[in-house]
């Protein structure tokens, strides 16, 4: 009730949700009854979770922020949603996003603009802006987002919450509306690292419905959280932290750099061994990402032809049925990506763009590999600036793309990364620091096992 009241109060201003469940209290009552009967209720019993609207839910609409899926109700739950329900969580609703996850501000939703709870005139980031704002405004406890090029981490930074992008393959993509399949991953928002870890614990693991989901054993992400003696036990002593030099220079707001430097000194005080590391390929990631993500999306989005899903513009002529449905159902940014991707994949330009971008991807992966051989984690800002005004970059796609510089490399390499609030800029907006780990090392066991056998 407390969360629902808060939601009623804040939602007219923040607009995080595209759909709010009407059965939350009934589900909570049912959990109470189970407890009375001594039945097992699961580790997330009664925890309110919001789910990004590109993750399929059988009992709620799933629009992916697009008009073309306006009345779409999937006949199934995404694996992550099924697991949440099995853990006893209550899905409070579906959150707003940039159409199909393409964007960095949530202004690209076909339905509404979400506001940043810290300053309602500012964007919450994107594309998972609704999920980040919902946690930030305390409309739910935790939420699921998706991260193809930063869509969990950048909004976490803008909204002052924790955002966790797991290793590619850690969480099943079954039921996640595909944007760029080799980069997409479902991620977690919470108001603490422990909350994000607990959420990840309940949704991850191998799934035979997603061939790219990992068969690795799921380790306990939360066992090391023992808040009482956490700092006394000096858990970070000896942690080798590499600060990525290329991320604290030109093009990054000075106040953001100051916040990150503050976080770095704090880590040093906690016993981390901090050194600078250079990733010369860092700036190559952005153009490579936009070629690859657009290419994959042009292929993935071909399924929205007006026949199988969502809105259809009726016509006797098949090509105008396709054309009409797409022209009417897809927004400008999505059309731009499809055109760019089709171009990059076309016979005459494939070698120059798509193939080249794949080669860059390998270079980026190798760069991270050697940096992470020498360090336990790598540090950078989550974004080059704090949140900016709604409308500021809406008509400048290249400026919007440039804001993804800190996050896209991590997706190209498939690595896990956590964004943690670490300070504020002068106008009071939060800043997040990004911590990048080795593949499948979300709990930092590499470091822990070495230091505490
Ligand atoms: N802003 C990036 C894009 O538009 C990343 C989006 C995402 O991670 N879904 O592609």
Pocket test for ligand 1, best of 52, 126, 181 (most atoms within 8 A of CB): 126
Q: Residue 118 C-alpha to ligand 1 middle, in angstroms?
A: 22
The mean pLDDT of 178-204, rounded to a whole number, is: 97
Distances 200 to 54, 76, 237, 355, 362 between C-alpha atoms, Å: 18, 21, 25, 34, 28
Mind listing the pLDDT tens digit for each residue in 426-439? 999 999 999 999 99
Q: What is the CATH number of domain 2-283+377-451?
A: 3.90.1300.10
Q: Model-level pTM greater than 0.95?
A: yes
Q: What is the mean pLDDT of residues 169-177?
A: 98
For ligand 1, say whether the CB of 99 is within 6 Å of any of its atoms.
no
147 CB near ligand 1 (under 6 Å): yes
State the pLDDT at residue 453: 46
Closest residue by Cα to atom 5, ligand 1, is 149
Q: Which strands make up the sheet holding 142-146, listed edge to edge? A: 17-20, 90-95, 48-52, 142-146, 186-190, 162-165, 417-424, 430-436, 377-381, 240-244, 273-277
* Average model confidence (pLDDT) across the chain: 95
The Cβ of residue 98 has, within 10 Å, a number of other Cβ atoms equal to 31
Using CA atoms in the order 221, 227, 232, 237, what is the torsion angle rounded to 10 degrees? 20
Closest atom, ligand 1, to C-alpha of 151:
8
| Domain regions of the chain by residue span | 2-283+377-451
- 410 within ligand 1 shell (Cβ under 6 A): no
- Ligand 1 near 127 CB (within 6 A): yes
The response to whether residue 151 sits with its C-beta less than 6 Å from ligand 1 reads: yes
The yes/no answer to whether this complex scores an ipTM above 0.95 is: yes
CA angle 332, 334, 335 (to 5 degrees): 65
Q: Using a 6 Å cutoff on CB, does residue 404 contact ligand 1?
A: yes
Give the nearest ligand 1 atom to 148 CA. Answer: 8
Residues 326-335: what's their mean pLDDT? 97
Instruction: State how far the Cα of 397 lies from the Cα of 223, in Å rounded to an integer.
Output: 43
Distances (CA, A) of 307 to 80, 192, 303, 320, 330: 27, 43, 9, 12, 14
The confidence score (pLDDT) of residue 234 equals 79
pLDDT tens per residue across span 98-116: 999 999 999 999 999 999 9
- Cα 366 to ligand 1 centre (Å): 23
C-alpha to C-alpha distance for 392 and 451, rounded to whole angstroms = 47
């Amino acid at each position: 009730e407390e969360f629902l009241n808060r939601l009623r109060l804040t939602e007219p201003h923040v607009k995080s949700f595209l759909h709010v469940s009407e059965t939350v209290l009934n589900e909570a009552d049912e959990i109470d009854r189970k407890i009375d009967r001594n039945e097992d209720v699961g580790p997330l019993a009664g925890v309110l979770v919001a789910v990004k609207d590109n993750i399929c839910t059988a009992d709620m609409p799933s629009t992916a922020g697009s008009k073309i899926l306006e009345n779409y109700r999937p006949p199934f739950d995404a694996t992550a949603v099924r697991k949440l329900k099995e853990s006893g969580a209550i899905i409070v609703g579906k959150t707003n996003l940039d159409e199909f996850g393409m964007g960095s501000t949530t202004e690209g939703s076909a339905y509404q603009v979400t506001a940043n709870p810290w300053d309602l005139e500012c964007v919450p980031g994107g594309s998972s802006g609704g999920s980040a704002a919902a946690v930030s405004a305390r409309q739910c406890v935790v939420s699921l987002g998706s991260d193809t090029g930063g869509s969990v981490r950048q909004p976490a930074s803008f909204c002052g919450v924790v955002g966790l992008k797991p290793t590619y393959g850690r969480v099943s993509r079954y039921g996640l509306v595909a944007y760029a399949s080799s980069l997409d991953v479902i991620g977690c928002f919470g108001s603490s690292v422990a909350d994000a870890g607990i959420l990840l614990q309940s949704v991850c693991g191998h799934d035979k419905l997603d061939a790219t989901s990992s068969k690795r054993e799921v380790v306990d992400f939360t066992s090391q959280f023992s808040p009482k003696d956490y700092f006394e036990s000096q858990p970070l002593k000896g942690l080798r932290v590499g600060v990525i030099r290329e991320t604290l220079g030109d093009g990054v707001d000075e106040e953001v750099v100051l916040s990150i430097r503050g976080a770095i000194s704090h880590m040093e005080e906690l016993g981390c061994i901090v050194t600078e590391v250079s990733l010369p390929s860092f700036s190559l990631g952005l153009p490579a990402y936009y070629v690859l993500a657009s290419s994959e999306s042009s292929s993935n989005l071909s399924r929205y032809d007006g026949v199988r899903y969502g809105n259809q513009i009726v016509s006797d002529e098949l090509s105008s049925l396709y054309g009409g449905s797409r022209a009417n159902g897809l927004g400008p940014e999505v059309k731009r990506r499809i055109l760019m991707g089709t171009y990059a994949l076309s016979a005459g330009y494939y070698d120059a763009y798509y193939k080249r971008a794949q080669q860059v991807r390998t270079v980026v992966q190798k760069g991270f590999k050697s940096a992470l051989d020498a360090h336990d984690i790598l540090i950078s800002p989550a974004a080059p600036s704090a949140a900016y005004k709604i409308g500021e970059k809406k008509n400048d796609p290249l400026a919007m793309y440039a804001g993804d510089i800190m996050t896209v490399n991590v997706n190209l390499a498939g690595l896990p990364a956590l964004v943690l609030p670490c300070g504020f800029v002068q106008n009071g907006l939060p800043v997040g620091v990004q911590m990048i780990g080795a593949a499948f090392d979300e709990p930092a066991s590499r470091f822990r096992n070495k230091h505490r056998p």
